[in-house]
Amino acid sequence: MRSRFNINNYSNLGQRAITAFFGAIVVVGGSIYSDWTYFIIFAVILGFSQMEFYKLSGLDGMLPLKSFGTFLGLMIFTLTFLIEKEQFRNEYLYLMFPLVSLTFFIKLYRKTDKKPFTGVAFTYLGIFYVAVPFSLLNLAVFSVDQVYHFEILIGCLLILWASDTGAYFAGTKFGKTKLFERVSPKKSWEGFLGGAFSAIAVAFVLARYFHVIEDWKWLVIAGIIIVAGTYGDLIESLFKRSIEIKDSGQILPGHGGFMDRFDGLLLSAPFITAFLKIF
């Protein structure tokens, strides 16, 4: 009798490995294939991540505008992509100001909201916490000569994944000294150092093969991801602990939700983009 593949039959580590493998193929392959496939893939990731954030906010009694907030996030992502691709003029970004202001009008007509401004605040928080960092990736990948360079995105992701993987295994094997026990009891300094070592090692390899930016910039990006990525993970842990849940979702077996997988990128992207644009 033919056996059916069921990822739930595997251990948590096995599920993580299988999900990471197929997810990496989609993200890396799509980003390399063309700028439009990159756009579609990350628009989907952004949409799911922002909906997760609004869903979690709802569990804590908040009432953000889930659909409209996600629409605004996708609009910002789309506009920044088209502007960086030089298909739209920079002035089109001003469209976001009246669109974002519509949040107040919508809340004004919601009679069931007892605290409408709290809902407005969390709608905006979802945009700034999730949509803006993903949108800044557009500025990063087009930061050299206004041409799409997948190497920048893939390099950042490889460093981030190396950091996460190194921290996971080093923390599991050697973790004793707590990094930030109040927020994330399982994280350790040994795990942090293991992640840092892995990230720097990958940065050296990228500097050897990806010459779209100077070698030293890969090492700086690795430093940014090591620090900001760790804080991004801790901040999402703080958010989840405040509403007493373990994972942001269940859509990615072994990893939880999209925010669980990309939390390090949310805080790293603004610093990386600022660094690449300034230098």
Joined together, the tokens standing for residue 215 give 């070698």
For residues 130-135, give the mean pLDDT.
96
The pLDDT confidence band at residue 194, using thresholds 50, 70 and 90, is very high
Answer for the pair 63, 118: CB distance below 8 angstroms, yes or no.
yes
Neighbours of 57 (CB within 10 A): 23
Phi, psi for 253 (deg, rounded to 5): -55, 130
Tens of pLDDT, residue by residue over 6-30, are 655 556 667 777 877 888 899 999 9
The pLDDT confidence band at residue 1, using thresholds 50, 70 and 90, is very low
- Between 202 and 257, residue with greater pLDDT: 202
What span, in angstroms and rounded, lies between the C-alpha atoms of 217 and 47?
30
Q: What is the dihedral of CA 232, 238, 242, 246, to 10 degrees?
A: 80
pLDDT at residue number 5: 55
DSSP 233-278: HHHHHHHHHHTT-S-S-SSBTTTBSHHHHHHHHHHHHHHHHHHHHH
Joined together, the tokens standing for residue 189 give 């300094």
Q: Which pTM was predicted?
A: 0.90
What span, in angstroms and rounded, lies between the C-alpha atoms of 116 and 62?
9
